[in-house]
């Protein structure tokens, strides 16, 4: 097939719509593999930085972007007219939730409509944005086929879920297996060939719906297990059991168990959001997805539980939250990144401020926060600061933190992430979630 030959010889051009945490690393990966790549984004700031050889995502090294831009392999634009000169178009736009927790697929709709204006024979279109099963076939396909072109013959359409894990030093786009599900077998084969040029292992599945469901299964699995261990933490607290030690003990079983750890809630652009796409779709089919709803209920209640724990610890010292000096360590949704999307720390901070806390925070990756119109700046960690605080709350266990030093200097510590698990504390100053 001529198109497959062109892919293998890297004679095709690739466009990435959306240059965020998914799109930029993907663009860099394809460009590094030898393809000419154009990124398209409505954010002029991102476009300017890419064209200047600068990175705004920690996992993408600025030296790599600068090299690719100087070689003419990578460029960015805000102009959708660029689609007319591209052979492959990969959609990596956000898919947030509305306030009603229904899917907001407006970004996908806009991208597909723009693609439709330039669709021609031989085009390859891939959706990577997380969405509900059926989106590629029911939403994207009709829009593209309205051009008169036929999928699997004139153009090729598939879904391939993103698997980006910010801050993960072991797994990246290149060595993380890639799932591909096409609208037709021909679509799957073409898109598999495409990704195989840049990614070590590509796994084809029978349909776009399977690929869409696989992504939601991955994240729903995590959401429900996080909820389970969060409830285990609550129950362990009532029973006077160290849940961290119980998890470590259970982890010694070589089969049938995978450790998850409690925290003040789930955060990020995936875990708190993606299961709702599946939940919404099933409700349209008159099915009540009870596991997903229960997991969301438990995880969303954890910030309040954390604040309740803080109140209990302060009460033991004859203090209330109102007027107490409280230091939050880490506000990002996970360690070693600066991403605060859906971060549970934000809700914890909001609740503490509402209760009158004299609050400060430190996060080496997040220099500023805007909480309900109030701007907070990350304070510098010093032993004098720790000693002045009535309570230190560990929300995100960044590896840059020296927890032994923190424990030595702090008066009271609420550890919501089990970050101090290996530290011996005879003073009883550490309270686990």
Cα→Cα distances 101→276, 281, 430, Å: 7, 12, 37
Domain end among 172, 206, 240: 206
Domain end among 206, 239, 254: 206
Distance of alpha carbon 219 from alpha carbon 292, whole angstroms: 11
Determine the angle formed by the axes of helices 62-70 and 44-51, rounding to 10 degrees: 70
Residue 101 pLDDT more than 90? no
- Residue 99 banded pLDDT, cuts 50, 70, 90: confident
* Strand-strand pairing, 156-159 and 391-394: unpaired
Distance of alpha carbon 95 from alpha carbon 105, whole angstroms: 6
Continuous H helices in 58-102: 62-70
Continuous H helices in 197-316: 208-239, 243-250, 274-283, 290-316
> Edge-to-edge strand order for the sheet containing 202-205?
74-77, 36-40, 13-17, 88-91, 124-127, 156-159, 178-182, 202-205
Same domain assignment for residues 300 and 402: yes
Q: Which two tokens stand for residue 71?
A: 């070689």
Catalytic, out of 92, 187, 270, 391: 270
Same domain assignment for residues 227 and 191: no
Cα→Cα distances 147→17, 144, 243, 290, 409, Å: 20, 6, 58, 41, 67
Q: Is 46 domain-assigned?
A: yes
Residue 305 pLDDT more than 80? yes
Domain end among 206, 229, 246: 206
Residues contacting residue 48 through CB under 8 Å, at least 6 positions apart: none
pTM of the model: 0.93
Same domain assignment for residues 133 and 264: no
Domain of 117: which CATH number? Answer: 3.40.50.720
Same domain assignment for residues 301 and 249: yes
Q: Is 105 domain-assigned?
A: yes
Look up tokens 């954010």; give the residue.
Answer: 43
Q: Is 214 domain-assigned?
A: no
Q: Is 391 a catalytic residue?
A: no
Cα→Cα distances 349→23, 186, 370, 376, Å: 31, 51, 11, 11
What pLDDT is attached to residue 141? 98
Same domain assignment for residues 169 and 230: no
DSSP bridge partners of 361: 328
Same domain assignment for residues 267 and 328: yes
What pLDDT is attached to residue 260? 95
182: left (phi over 0), alpha (psi -120 to 50) or beta: beta
What percentage of the chain reaches a pLDDT higher than 90?
92
User: Which residue range(s) make up the domain with 321?
Assistant: 221-432
Same domain assignment for residues 179 and 276: no
What is the domain count for the chain?
Answer: 2
Residue 1 pLDDT more than 80? no
Q: Which two tokens stand for residue 256?
A: 């049938």
Same domain assignment for residues 44 and 167: yes
Q: Is 215 domain-assigned?
A: no
Same domain assignment for residues 281 and 392: yes
Q: How far is CA 218 from the centre of its chain?
A: 12
Mean pLDDT (whole number) for 419-428: 85
Same domain assignment for residues 100 and 188: yes
- Residue 245 banded pLDDT, cuts 50, 70, 90: very high
């Amino acid at each position: 097939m001529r198109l497959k030959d062109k892919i293998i010889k890297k004679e095709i051009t690739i466009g990435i719509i959306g240059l965020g945490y998914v799109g930029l690393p993907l663009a860099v990966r394809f460009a590094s593999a030898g393809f000419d790549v154009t990124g398209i984004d409505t954010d002029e700031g991102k476009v300017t930085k890419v064209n200047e050889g600068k990175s705004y995502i920690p996992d993408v090294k600025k030296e790599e972007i600068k090299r690719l831009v100087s070689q003419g392999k990578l460029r960015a634009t805000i102009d959708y007219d660029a689609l007319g000169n591209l052979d492959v178009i990969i959609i990596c736009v956000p898919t947030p939730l509305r306030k009603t927790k229904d899917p907001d697929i407006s970004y996908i709709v806009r991208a597909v409509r723009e693609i439709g204006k330039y669709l021609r024979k031989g085009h390859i279109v891939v959706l990577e944005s997380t969405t509900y099963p059926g989106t590629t076939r029911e939403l994207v396909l009709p829009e593209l086929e309205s051009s008169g072109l036929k999928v699997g013959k004139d153009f090729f359409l598939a879904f391939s879920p993103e698997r980006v894990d910010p801050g993960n030093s072991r797994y990246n786009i290149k060595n993380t297996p890639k799932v591909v599900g096409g609208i037709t077998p021909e679509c799957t084969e073409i898109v598999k060939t495409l990704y195989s040029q840049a990614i070590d292992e590509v796994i084809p599945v029978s349909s776009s719906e399977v690929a869409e469901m696989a992504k939601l299964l991955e994240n729903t699995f995590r959401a429900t297990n996080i909820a389970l261990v969060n409830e285990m933490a609550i129950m362990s607290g009532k029973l006077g059991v160290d849940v961290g030690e119980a998890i470590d003990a259970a982890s010694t079983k070589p089969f049938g168990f995978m450790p998850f750890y409690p925290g003040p809630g789930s955060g990020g652009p995936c875990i708190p959001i993606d299961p709702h796409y599946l939940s919404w779709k099933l409700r349209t089919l008159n099915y009540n997805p009870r596991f997903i709803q229960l997991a969301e209920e438990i995880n969303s209640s954890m910030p309040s539980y954390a604040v309740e724990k803080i109140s209990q610890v302060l009460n033991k010292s004859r203090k209330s939250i109102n007027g107490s000096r409280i230091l939050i360590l880490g506000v990002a949704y996970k360690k070693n990144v600066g991403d605060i999307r859906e971060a549970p720390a934000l809700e914890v901070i909001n609740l503490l401020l509402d209760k009158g806390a004299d609050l400060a925070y430190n996060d080496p990756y997040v220099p500023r926060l805007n909480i309900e119109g109030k701007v907070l700046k990350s304070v510098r960690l010093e032993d004098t600061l720790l000693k002045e605080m009535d309570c230190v709350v560990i929300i995100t266990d960044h590896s840059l933190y020296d927890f032994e030093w923190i424990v030595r200097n702090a008066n009271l510590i609420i550890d919501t992430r089990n970050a101090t698990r290996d530290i011996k504390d005879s003073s009883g100053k550490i309270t686990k979630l």
